[in-house]
Chains A and B, each alone.
Chain A
Amino acid sequence: NAGVMQNPRHLVRRRGQEARLRCSPMKGHSHVYWYRQLPEEGLKFMVYLQKENIIDESGMPKERFSAEFPKEGPSILRIQQVVRGDSAAYFCASSPGDQPQHFGDGTRLSIL
């Protein structure tokens, strides 16, 4: 069984560009979560989605950030007009429901 797959592993963007982070959940998992992690800190919840629906986006900034989990294809975390403060590791997790979340190895986003 393949685990949670995130790509790219590393992404470099210049200020003002858009960043798209992809997450393919484990097979059979319909729940996807996105977290952000700064160096030497814990993971901060951003958003929780089920297929085609955003369930909880209380941790996601209101502007520039959006997430989707379409019926077909991976979940996408999109950051528009990136700023230096967006530099972080972004982790995706998935679960089949009320089960522990399984994490991918993250996307390291660097903003020049």
Chain B
Amino acid sequence: GESVGLHLPTLSVQEGDNSIINCAYSNSASDYFIWYKQESGKGPQFIIDIRSNMDKRQGQRVTVLLNKTVKHLSLQIAATQPGDSAVYFCAERAGGFKTIFGAGTRLFVKA
């Protein structure tokens, strides 16, 4: 079925610490995963993506890990900053272009 869910709906971290946001997916046919950041009143903003033939991908201050065995992916944010406060969504695609979004995790960064 279509199900992309998150373990933690709210995450609060201290400025400068690392953040880890987790996501579980249920469709074993999904072959492409994306993380989006959404700030209040705005549309989702692409952060990083990963294809199923990889298990790790790094960007600027962000890393996505994919574990296909347990159908889990995570977003790691290094040295979290106040500007990182937002809702983070994982999303998946199983071929084609239809993208299924998870419920989201709200990240609070304490100064």
Q: Which residues of A contact B (CB under 8 A)?
A: 4, 31, 33, 35, 40-45, 48, 55-56, 58-59, 91, 93, 95, 98, 100-106
Q: Which residues of B contact A (CB under 8 A)?
A: 4, 34, 36, 41-46, 49, 89, 96-104
CA distance A91 to B44 in the complex (A): 9
Residue of B34, B46, B102 near A42 (CB, 8 A) is B102
Chain B residues with CB below 8 A from A31, complex form? 97
CB distance from A12 to the nearest CB of B (A): 17
CA distance A111 to B89 in the complex (A): 27
CB distance from A76 to the nearest CB of B (A): 18
Is B99's CB under 8 angstroms from A33's CB? yes
Which of B34, B42, B43, B44 has most A Cβ within 10 Å?
B43
Is B97's CB under 8 angstroms from A56's CB? yes
Residue of A4, A45, A100, A106 near B100 (CB, 8 A) is A45
